[in-house]
Structure 1
Amino acid sequence: MRRKLINSISKLAIDAGNEILKIYKNTDFEIRTKSDGSLLTEADQVAHQMIIEGLSKLDVNLPVLSEESTSISIEERALWKRYWLVDPLDGTAEFVERNGEFTVNIALIENHAPLLGVVHAPVQGLTYLGGKNLGATRRDDAGERVIKCRTMDSVIAKQEPIVIMESRRHAEGGANSLLTKIQNKIGAYETRNMGSSLKICYIAEGKADLYPRLGPTSEWDTAAAHAILEAAGGSMIDPYFKPLSYNSKKDLLNPFFFAIGDANYDWPSVIKD
């Protein structure tokens, strides 16, 4: 049942991505700035509407929280045990700059944790899927394959550098001191810059090991990739090394967090002072 559901969500994300691409290929589209300073385009709104309609067809009784429909009160949200959490266009700035690093994110949340998630990258024609008891996979024109996080033991044994993901456009406060700790306690590292939730999916795919996010994000930014990362063997933890939680407080902002590939590695000994 859950496999059928995640396949339906994947199709919906791809359909929304195709609509986004139509606008992406048009050089003349309106760009607005929202009250929080983030960008909004026609593509965000078109994808939002398509996803909302598609999810309601799957289950009309299941609530949907989208970045473009955040006016739902905390009193109403507090009643939700299970709901959809959507970012119809994650990485609008990447969309505007046309670097291709934007995604469609759809997650199913249950009891404050991601149950399953889909992240679709329209330009790359790439889709990541994952959930509890489903494992994690990536799909593209070449087909579908299982993905797993790599272990720190394998990285250290091969004397490979630790790969650390960084935001393409948001400076991470405190990142330099963290990098110094990693170099002193583990060894050599390299950094890779990328936009949107693709950074977390890279870790799920075993191409990177850590993404320290020491700046503001919202819950719809992370939920889908969080589900995929956990399904691939990784984790997303706050500065107190507890799993990220969803819809558990008045606002919808994430704490600072660390997306880690090897959930069994002793990251606290590396990260904490």
Structure 2
Amino acid sequence: MTDLALLQALGALCVEAGRAILDVYDAEAIVVRSKDDRSPVTDADERAEEILHAVLAKLFPGVTVIAEEAASRDGAPTEAPETFLLVDPLDGTREFINRNGEFTVNVGLISRRAPVLGCVHAPALGATWIGAAGRGAFKAEAAIRDVPAPAAYRPIAVRQRPAAGLCAVASRSHADAETEAFLEKLGVVERRSAGSSLKFCLVAEAAADVYPRFGPTMEWDTAAGHAVLAAAGGAVTRPDMTPFDYGKAEAGFRNGGFVAWGARD
């Protein structure tokens, strides 16, 4: 299977998981439970993760899968292999609960501590982003619940910094004073809000230039979006501009703060 065919197969899988999410999303009532860390979880998270697990084993034979709900239930691995998959079956659970459509299915492949391949799918928007190192990044739009045709995928790339100033995208659910201070220092002239990993995708498709996040996240929250953005010509760094890496098993796969950038020059 070629890199592009693998990416498209991953996109189809994420759409399948997205259908399971929409089955719950479209129900009259969404039952919300609390995990041990007090974060919300729904049946949609768990159903989607089961679907992803089953097929990822066939698409990436022998590759370890580290997924949010399994890690929450059983504990995350104490060591990270050189190559592994990070899965967030439903990023933006709060957006899902609030029914604003800004939630995503996320799968990212990590190799030597860097994301090298990823897919982000927004089930309620009918949009799918895929990307791989050396292969580029692509976006497809299709009817909700439909798998995009291969020809529907169009190349995307970050844009050069606008002469008039930067557009920043920030979290709809996690705004804070540190983010505001950073954006002011950067001289941002336009701001957008979005939920979940959609923020990475907005930078990747040249709809924004920078996405800062200084609050806590987990590696499965960022891997897929990071992979798509990097494939589109962007980058993700720590706030001090050092590399933002993965496989931090000693920290429970927790991330520190980061900034996602479009073109740097």
Larger radius of gyration, structure 1 or 2? 1
* Superposition RMSD in Å: 1.5
Conserved 8 A contact 1:106-1:118: yes
Determine the C-alpha separation between the residues in 2 that align with 1:72 and 1:36: 12
The equivalences for 1:1-273 within 5 A come to 1-70=2-71, 71-72=74-75, 74-75=77-78, 77-78=79-80, 80-141=81-142, 143-152=152-161, 155-156=162-163, 159=164, 161-183=165-187, 189-250=189-250, 251-262=252-263, 264-265=264-265
Corresponding residue SS for 2:38: coil
Q: C-alpha displacement at 1:248, in angstroms?
A: 3.0
Runs of 4+ in 1 over 4 A off after TM superposition: none
Alpha-carbon deviations, 1:181-236, whole Å to 9, x = none?
122xxxx5111111000011000000001111011111001000100101111000
The answer to whether the Cα contact below 8 Å between 2:66 and 2:76 also exists between their aligned partners in 1 is: no
1:8-44: CA deviation from partner (whole Å, max 9, x where unpaired): 1111101000111111100223210112121100000
Query: In the alignment, residue 189 of structure 2 is paired with which amino acid?
Result: Y
Deviation at 1:144, TM superposition (A): 2.2
Percent of pairs identical after alignment? 40
Instruction: Give me the whole-angstrom Cα distance separating, in 2, the residues matched to 1:170 and 1:73.
Output: 24
Structure 2 portions without partners, runs of 5+: 143-147
Give the count of matched residue pairs: 253
When normalised by structure 2's length, the TM-score is 0.91
CA distance in 2, matches of 1:114, 1:12: 19
**In 2: Cα distance, 1:39 partner to 1:249 partner:** 23
Q: Where do 5+ consecutive residues of structure 1 fail to align?
A: 266-273
User: Does the CA contact (< 8 Å) of 2:30 and 2:97 recur in 1?
Assistant: no
Is the CA contact (8 Å cut-off) linking 1:235 and 1:243 kept in structure 2?
A: no
C-alpha offsets along residues 81-117 of structure 1, whole Å, 9 cap, x if unaligned?
Answer: 1111100000011111000000000111111111100
